[in-house]
Amino acid sequence: MPSWEGSPIAGPPSPSTQLSIRRTRLAVATIGHAFSDGFVNLVPPLLYVVRDMFRLSDSGLGNVMMVASLTTNFGQPVFGYLTDRLRWQNVVGLGVLISAVFICAIGFMPNLWLFVAALVFSGMGTALFHPQGGGLAAHASGHRRAFGMSIFGMGGAIGYAGGALASPVLHQLGLAAGMGPLQGFIVALPFGLIVAYLLYAYTRDHSVPAPAARFRLRQHLLPYWRSLLPVLLVMVLRSMTVIAYATFFQVIIGERGLSVYHQGGSQFTFVLGGAVGGIVGAHLSDLWGRRFITVLTLLISPPLLYYSLYTPYAVALALLFLSGLIVRAAEPVNIAQAQDLVPGGISVASSIGMGFAWGIASIVTPLVGRVSDITGKLPYALSLSAFLPVIAAVVALGLPTRPPAAEPGEASAN
């Protein structure tokens, strides 16, 4: 049985020096991830409302979300580099604070430009949280890094899913109180302030251990790029599918004449499936190997994603949950692989999986929107992204199946 404790540690742990999971530390990182991702997902469930607010085309809506996603996700490797290079400490609370303030005020932005600016600044707060939050979770996980990252990922997914549920409720509360669209988000601001302070207070005394040497791109990252590229490509292709569905599926639900609660419910179901899938995938990867789980889940998910577009709402929810569970099952496993490949820069490695890959993948939203505008068929445009995991599965055949330093008795075949 592992020992559970949350005391500070003197230096970066390794499988040989820390075998147990630090429960409190992992819980703090996970809770912070939940609120960080919860705030950033208040807007996406209501993109049908946003499209009407600013009279956007589908491609215009895709461009807005691409800009927001680029900031959130490409900001993560930048902040990851600065965290490792400059040895920043205790920034997770600041990240949640920035994200909460700007996203809760977004309904009060008087035009599209300021609306996008608020999205960008909120995304910067989320980007600031993730590298150190991921590093905190990884250090707390001991030799069970894939499992620990699945817990951390589950927290983010649950928070993201919770944002999908809270978003239409806050929106409707604001309208009932005589406020404008999205202005009800301001009710969530006190919760963000409280969580930001609690994160700051905890990490002030239990900070992420600084690496033994300052992170240098030439020394700690560039030599590993050839090994990282297949993992990165798998994560990008999978993320393109996830982003496309998380952006446009609720718009399709709105076009069917269903309420904002139905719109938020569709995204909640998809993201919740992803949260469960990360835990399942991490456990099964310990039994069957990382490569097998990655390839299997990528091949099973496309039919479920495709048919979810053409079924009644209740059936679509079931298919969305299953497809979210399966397509994202290997996500924490692949993040752990990236961390294994960059031992001298764990924050940068975390940001590659949780940020850089998603930033590249965000180009899918204007592409789907453009195809929709040309064909007049948003479901058809979205269905094209459902088959990207097949390409990812082919690439994943070249990934390692076990961690580089496997436990005695484990296979380490590539």
Per-residue confidence of the chain (414 residues) as pLDDT tens digits? 332 223 232 334 444 445 567 778 788 889 999 999 999 889 999 999 999 999 999 999 999 989 888 888 888 778 877 776 776 777 888 999 999 999 999 999 999 999 999 999 999 998 888 877 877 887 777 777 667 777 887 788 789 888 988 999 999 999 999 999 999 999 999 999 999 998 888 877 655 555 555 656 565 566 667 778 888 899 999 999 999 999 999 999 999 999 999 999 998 999 889 888 888 888 888 888 888 999 999 999 999 999 999 999 999 999 999 999 999 998 888 887 777 777 666 666 666 766 778 888 999 999 999 999 999 999 999 999 999 999 999 999 988 776 655 443 433 333
The answer to whether position 11 is within a domain reads: no
Instruction: State the DSSP code for 295.
Output: H
Whether 299 and 326 have beta carbons less than 8 Å apart is answered as: no
| Distance between CA atoms of residues 350 and 336, nearest Å | 8
Instruction: State the DSSP code for 45.
Output: G
The answer to whether position 234 is within a domain reads: yes
pTM of the prediction? Answer: 0.77
The answer to whether position 13 is within a domain reads: no
Whether 43 and 50 have beta carbons less than 8 Å apart is answered as: yes
Instruction: State the DSSP code for 376.
Output: S
The label of the residue with tokens 């991490």 reads 282
The answer to whether position 212 is within a domain reads: no
Whether 293 and 397 have beta carbons less than 8 Å apart is answered as: no
23 by Cβ neighbours in 10 Å (0-12 / 13-18 / 19+) ranks as middle
| Distance between CA atoms of residues 153 and 136, nearest Å | 12
Q: Which residue segment(s) compose the domain that 130 sits in?
A: 24-206+219-396
- What residues contact residue 64 under an 8 Å CB cut-off, 6+ apart? 50, 56, 112, 115, 116, 119
| Distance between CA atoms of residues 187 and 73, nearest Å | 26
The answer to whether position 134 is within a domain reads: yes
Domain count, the chain: 1
Handedness of CA 88, 14, 295, 313 (dihedral sign): negative
Residue 244's domain is classified under what CATH number?
Answer: 1.20.1250.20
The answer to whether position 323 is within a domain reads: yes
The answer to whether position 306 is within a domain reads: yes
| Distance between CA atoms of residues 323 and 328, nearest Å | 8
The answer to whether position 274 is within a domain reads: yes
